[in-house]
Structure 1
Amino acid sequence: MSVIAEISIPSTEFELGRIMDVSDSGTVELESLVPTGERAVPFFWVYGADFEAFEETVFEASSVEDLVEIDTYDDRVLYTFEWSVENDAVFRTIRSVNAYILNATGTGDSWRFELRFPSHDAMSTFQERCRESDIGFEVIRVYNPSKPDLGPWFGLTERQREAIVLAVEEGYYDIPRDCTTVELAEQLGISDQAVTERLRRAIVRLVTNTILTSHET
């Protein structure tokens, strides 16, 4: 049976955390991580940071190729780049135990991950490999999706709930559709691509914590 864990890892303990240095004022939110063999293409929002300094730090990393600015909204920028997962012990270990990243948010000091592991054994293996690699971490919360510990939104984050509720209210899922992701993006103040990814994550999380939970039980 699967298990979900919320884990905090200092930014200096893994490569992506060191690359995405937003100092004390900024925040990084991983939007998606697309694997491409031994490399990966992360899409991530950066909020309230010194963007020029941030970009310089990313460009200096030898494992990063082609930092691209996708969208800009007020105090946030959506970036992507090609990056070698094999150089990062945390992400390499996540992949090796077949864990799924539900959410990842970083600040100047630490990153908070919400990971779904296929079993308790997989979570234990992840912890053991982190210790073997001298990666400090703190387990904040561990829960099983079949237990009533998901809060009022079935495990959705506030942003995921906001997006999927708006999509339903505006008729995005109606036939024919009454709105588009572009229109939803304008209301949410994010990009069309970010809306699509946020809705996808919300649906995955709802299915994980409702339908799949019933099947597992």
Structure 2
Amino acid sequence: MGLIAEFRMASEQLPLVDVAEAVSEATVEFESVQGRPSGAPTFIVRIVGADADPIEAAFADADSVTDYSLLVADGTTRRYRCRPAGDPPTDVELLADNGSIPDRVLVTPNGWEERRWFANREEFDQFRTFCRANDYGLRLDRLVETDERSDGRETDPFGNGDRSRPREMTDAQREALVTAHEMGYFDTPRTATMADVADELGVSSASLSERLRRAQTHLVAEFRRSTGIKPRTN
């Protein structure tokens, strides 16, 4: 029995929260976390919807991250590499031994909004213990249990109830996905940028990025349910 949890971690001490606060008009999201044999991990971060100068200033003034560098810029989307500053969190070995897999981590001025796969309830409780040890306020928004039949039983934040209905893709998300595909945003090489598709839809690049991300997450979740693919446990 696996779990998919959507939750918010509230703390000013979380890495990149000060960056997100400085460029509050932008979307700040983790793309990957690369572990290292020793020392702090390396973060790959995507920022959409802010100009280069305020982003660079936000990184330069940030206390939560260090050693930042620009990897690539594509229209209004910029990707950076950085590392967390300061001492490692308390009981970090609990997180290192945890078999959960982050699916999406959005950084806000108040903390992180995250979607994460857990192999079982024990690993979820272990992750929650880590958050409490570091004074990360954890607010659970959604918890879905997945079983071998690949269906989902959606529960309330306390694990009760059985609503048995996955979250649907919205009309706006579907329109964004189809328009981006038709305009060549997913082609290799791309024939349209994020800004091109956003202009076509009459929305900001940050809004479009959020809609595409949620639409793609929905498609992946549906694919995993239909094919029986479970969350990784190692």
Contact 1:58–1:67 (8 Å) recurs in 2? no
Contact 2:184–2:190 (8 Å) recurs in 1? no
* 1:12-62 deviations in Å (ceiling 9; x for gaps): 1412323x23348424332511414252231312435x7544423323447
Distance 2:46 2:34 in 1: 14
- When residues 200 and 83 of structure 1 are mapped into structure 2, their CA distance, relative to the original with a 3 A threshold, is farther
- When residues 171 and 78 of structure 1 are mapped into structure 2, their CA distance, relative to the original with a 3 A threshold, is closer
- Paired positions, count: 196
Contact 1:104–1:111 (8 Å) recurs in 2? yes
Return the match for 2:225 from 190, 209, 214.
209
Deviation of 1:124 (Å) = 0.9
Distance 1:151 1:106 in 2: 22
- When residues 107 and 171 of structure 1 are mapped into structure 2, their CA distance, relative to the original with a 3 A threshold, is closer
Distance 2:33 2:144 in 1: 26
Contact 1:27–1:47 (8 Å) recurs in 2? yes
User: Which residue is 2:42 aligned to?
Assistant: 40
Which SS does the other structure have where 2:228 is aligned? helix
Distance 1:185 1:59 in 2: 28
User: Which residue is 1:12 aligned to?
Assistant: 12
User: Which residue is 2:2 aligned to?
Assistant: 2
CA RMSD after TM alignment:
4.1
**Mapped pair 1:121 → 2:122:** yes
Contact 1:15–1:88 (8 Å) recurs in 2? no
User: Which residue is 2:167 aligned to?
Assistant: 151
Contact 2:3–2:145 (8 Å) recurs in 1? yes
Q: Which runs of no fewer than 5 residues in structure 1 stay unpaired?
A: 174-178
- When residues 69 and 172 of structure 1 are mapped into structure 2, their CA distance, relative to the original with a 3 A threshold, is closer
| 1:126 counterpart letter in structure 2 | F
Distance 2:57 2:23 in 1: 17
Which SS does the other structure have where 1:183 is aligned? coil
Identity of aligned residues (%): 14
User: Which residue is 2:56 aligned to?
Assistant: 55
Q: Which runs of no fewer than 5 residues in structure 2 stay unpaired?
A: 153-163, 199-204
| 1:43 counterpart letter in structure 2 | V
Distance 1:133 1:103 in 2: 21
